[in-house]
């Protein structure tokens, strides 16, 4: 039995789930067959992606006590390395999401089986027509959470989340998401906001609806604004290992400087193939299982 509670974005991570491309992509041949079907913006180089993942994993392993790696399976595909999306972790167990992308429908059950083997119970499952993805869920604290409403998460899914967490959470805030480039592009709430402490967040305001941006300010967040050039390099998707201790893809000097000015410790990994071409930043590549609230 392990400790579990993921109702935080900024508490220190004590255990986390990851999955290597080596267990999901298998090699360049399989990657070549799949990337266009999965609507990736570019064809990843398998060896480079593996090297990039290993550099990210080294950073995570140096700060997190327990790092669990999902094994190979025959039910998922390249997308399964983005372990943040198919499951939520609450103080009472895991909630298995329901993914909009048909190629990802099997991921929640596969992750759920692994978590149960670790000793994390399944609190519930989001069922059709409800849709809910982990990338649309951003915790302010263990009693308050924002959930993006868009192509990946719908109101039915949020209604089921409310019911499952009625004894755990006081406030679920629905945040409308923009159309952006349409339903086939992966746009989550974490595509535009990443809390790095209880009072500091990285935000791409151009994509953020005014009421939600105002809410961040009302809750006391100082906002680090993401420039257009660095949004395109996944600069707004930042993994927080602990208060003001974070990981981001290399190549975003403006955001990094702004974070360091606020006293944040910033680690970088190269992510051209695993993040930019695959469409998932460091938050997407990790699912914290236990965060100790700061």
CATH code of the domain in which 86 resides:
3.75.10.10
User: What pLDDT is recorded for position 294?
Assistant: 65
User: Which residues, 6+ apart, have CB-to-CB distance to 201 below 8 Å?
Assistant: 193, 194, 195, 216, 221, 222, 223, 224
| Boundaries of domain holding 283 | 12-190+273-292
Q: 235: number of CA atoms within 13 Å, CB side?
A: 23
Nearest Cα residue to 100 out of 136, 53, 132? 132
19 neighbors 72 (Cβ within 8 angstroms): no
220 in a structural domain: no
Q: Between vectors from CA 159 to CA 155 and to CA 160, what angle results, nearest 5°?
A: 120
286 in a structural domain: yes
Whether pLDDT at 144 is above 90: yes
User: What pLDDT is recorded for position 51?
Assistant: 98
- Integer Cα distance of 105 and 190 in angstroms: 20
Return mean pLDDT, the chain: 96
240 in a structural domain: no
214 in a structural domain: no
- Integer Cα distance of 201 and 198 in angstroms: 8
150 in a structural domain: yes
- pLDDT tens per residue, range 13-43: 999 999 999 999 999 999 999 999 999 999 9
pTM > 0.95: yes
282 in a structural domain: yes
242 in a structural domain: no
202 in a structural domain: no
Give the total number of structural domains in the chain: 1
């Amino acid at each position: 039995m392990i400790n579990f509670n993921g109702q935080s974005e900024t508490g220190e991570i004590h255990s986390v789930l990851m999955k290597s491309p080596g267990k999901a992509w298998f090699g360049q041949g399989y990657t070549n067959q799949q990337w266009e079907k999965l609507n990736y913006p570019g064809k990843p180089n398998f060896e480079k992606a593996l090297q990039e993942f290993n550099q990210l994993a080294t950073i995570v392993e140096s700060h997190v006590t327990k790092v669990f790696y999902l094994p190979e399976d025959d039910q998922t595909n390249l997308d399964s390395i983005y372990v943040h999306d198919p499951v939520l972790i609450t103080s009472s167990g895991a909630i298995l999401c329901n993914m909009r992308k048909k190629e990802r429908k099997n991921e929640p059950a596969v992750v759920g089986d692994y978590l149960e083997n670790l000793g994390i119970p399944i609190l519930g499952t989001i069922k059709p027509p409800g849709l809910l993805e982990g990338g649309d869920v951003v915790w302010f604290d263990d009693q308050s959470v924002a959930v993006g409403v868009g192509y990946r998460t719908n109101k039915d899914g949020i209604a089921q989340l409310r019911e499952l967490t009625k004894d755990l959470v006081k406030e679920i805030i629905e945040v409308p998401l923009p159309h952006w480039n349409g339903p086939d592009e992966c746009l989550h709430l974490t595509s535009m906001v990443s809390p790095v402490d209880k009072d500091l967040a990285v935000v791409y305001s151009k994509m953020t609806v005014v009421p939600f941006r105002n809410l961040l300010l009302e809750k006391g967040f100082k906002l680090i604004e993401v420039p257009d050039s660095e949004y395109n390099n996944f600069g707004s998707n930042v993994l927080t290992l602990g208060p003001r201790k974070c990981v981001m893809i290399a190549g975003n000097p403006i955001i990094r400087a702004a974070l360091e000015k606020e006293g944040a410790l910033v680690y970088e990994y190269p992510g051209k193939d695993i993040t930019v071409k695959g469409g998932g930043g460091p938050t997407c590549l990790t699912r914290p299982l236990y965060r100790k609230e700061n």
